[in-house]
Copies of this chain bind each other. A is one copy, B any other.
Amino acid sequence: MAIEIERKFLVCGEGWRDQVRHSSPMAQAYLNDAGRASVRVRIEAEQATLNIKQAVAGAQRLEFEYPIPLVDAQQLIAELGGGRIEKQRHRVPVGEQVWEIDEFFGDNAGLIVAEIELPSLQATFERPGWLGDEVTEDSRYYNHALAQHPYKDWAAS
């Protein structure tokens, strides 16, 4: 269990690509549609996890994460998962911190967001030139929301 403190931003331009230290593909799906928590199965490279995150908007949420066997995750995503999302996660070091930049595919193609995990709500961090507007409080950018109402449909709504 942990309190996750995370801030999320849009990304401007391509300047971050030269600074990527590591990239890995992610496939994930949700085992539930709504409620007080999201239950997510994720495969990153060959590592699988089950993640439970409190469904509230904002920088601070309860989060629980457990490793599970890869074969379980594959079956869970294929047979019980909804709201599948595929993306590439790029890790970009900036000063003392590492940004996670998610580049979405499929129905969310074109969307790129940057996240930073912080030790406290008040923690300061260096803002790289490619950092755009903050969207931490905008629940449309939650992966759970993107699965149900993908980026390609945003213009229409």
- Chain A contact residues, CB within 8 Å of chain B: 1, 31-37, 39, 50, 52, 54, 62, 64, 66, 68-69, 71-72, 75-76, 79-82
Contacts and interface: CB of A to CB of B under 8 A. Distances in A.
Question: A interface, by DSSP: helix, strand, loop or mixed?
Answer: mixed
Give the copy number: 2
Contacts of A35: 31-33, 82
A100 B130 CA distance: 59
Contacts of A39: 31-32, 39, 52
Nearest to A67: B66
A76 B63 CA distance: 10
Contact of A36 (B54, B62, B82): B82
